[in-house]
Amino acid sequence: MSGYLITIATIIVINAIVVCGLNVIVGYAGQISLGHAAFFGIGAYSAALLATKAGLSFWAALPLVVTISSVVGLLLGLPSLRVKDDFLAITTIGINFIVEAVFLYIPFFGGALGIGGIPRICLFGLRLKGFSFFLLCLAFLVLVMTACWWFTRCWAGLACFALREDEEAAASVGISPVRFKLLAFVAGTAMAGLGGALYAHYMRFISASDFSFPVSITLLSMLVLGGMGKLWAPLLGAVILGALPEIFRPLVEYRILFYTAILLLMIRFQPSGLLGDESLARKVLAKVVPGGGR
């Protein structure tokens, strides 16, 4: 594989990990988040700082990075989960702008210059780059998707589904809305943090604009395109929205317009996404492969 393809594939896999986290929050628990890039960024910045300022290795820092992301997720989740629907969407947009501003204006976080000189990840004495780094990301994606798969099959996941459908009814069967929403938020932000750490060590230079509001929109577009609440949706969405801009390179100026158009078209014609229960793709699949619609 050429370096170009590997770069694109690695970014796609990292995005898929982050979108898996978004899927837990939005797809499973039904809590709209338009600020997911903030948690992606918190993971990336804490990994970068721990590596450059504290001199920790990726592996030593990883538990800390995931903990920091999920604790910040918990702290920001506590007040924002007291609001619902449109208000939650606006609150999470606000979180995204605040976090980006903190990265941009506080010198500790590198300010406008960002953080550079982030070392490569070492594994068994090997410095991972190119294809080996891609394999590491893939391994983490498998881990994250396994966690997501388990989440949909355990009581915690079922409780989140119930909350997504109707909060009052969920509470009437013993589900604490606050507790399970926070659980989803913490799990989702932890995955975003993991993705951020991989991103920081891959790019080796990060700046605040990597985690701005349009990135949140892109991440959400991937999820909506794939199908909210579906296990394979994050990967499918990340592949399509990661590969298309490369194929249509000359149109790169129009990327956001293109994403917006996709989002609108999906909402109008395929609200449940490509993998959704009633989607066109599934109907076609069901015709081609017997039982393929499942």
Residues that bind other proteins (CB under 8 A): 150, 153-159, 161-162, 165-166, 168-177, 180, 277
CB of 166 to other proteins, least distance (A): 5
Strand, coil or helix: 206: strand
CB of 160 to other proteins, least distance (A): 10
- Distance, CA of 112 to CA of 218 (rounded, Å): 23
The 10 Å Cβ neighbour count of residue 79 is: 10
Tokens of 288: 């081609």
**What Å distances lie between residue 63 and 139, 218, 240, CA to CA?**
16, 27, 31
Q: Please, which residues have CB within 8 angstroms of residue 286's CB and are 6 or more apart in sequence? A: 292, 293
Choose between 86 and 168: whose C-beta lies nearer to other proteins.
Answer: 168
**Judged by CB, which is closer to other proteins: 165, or 251?**
165
Q: Which is nearer to other proteins, 57 or 176 (CB)?
A: 176
Least CB distance from residue 187 to other proteins, whole Å?
Answer: 12
Contact between 285 and 293 (Cβ < 8 Å):
yes
Please choose, from the candidates 94, 80, 65, 100, the residue with its C-alpha nearest in 3D space to the C-alpha of residue 29: 80
Q: At its nearest, how many Å lie between other proteins and the CB of residue 190? A: 15
The packing angle between helices 233-247 and 213-226, to 10°, is 120
**Which C-beta is closer to other proteins: that of 71 or that of 240?**
71
**Residue number, 18 or 66, with CB nearest to other proteins:** 66
Beta carbon of residue 165, minimum distance to other proteins (angstroms, whole number): 4
* Geometric angle at alpha carbon 197, from 253 and 132, rounded to 5°: 85
Smaller CB distance to other proteins: residue 47 or 233? 233
What is the amino acid identity at position 122? C
Rounded to the nearest 10°, the torsion over CA 121, 124, 129, 131 is -130
Which candidate, 187, 152, 142, 146, places its Cα nearest to that of 39? 187
Residue 158: CB minimum distance to other proteins, A: 5
What is the rounded distance in angstroms from the CA atom of residue 154 to the CA atom of residue 159?
A: 9
CB of 192 to other proteins, least distance (A): 21
Give the amino acid at 248.
F
Closest approach of other proteins to the CB of residue 262, in Å: 23
Give whichever of 4 and 155 is closer to other proteins, judged by the CB atom.
155
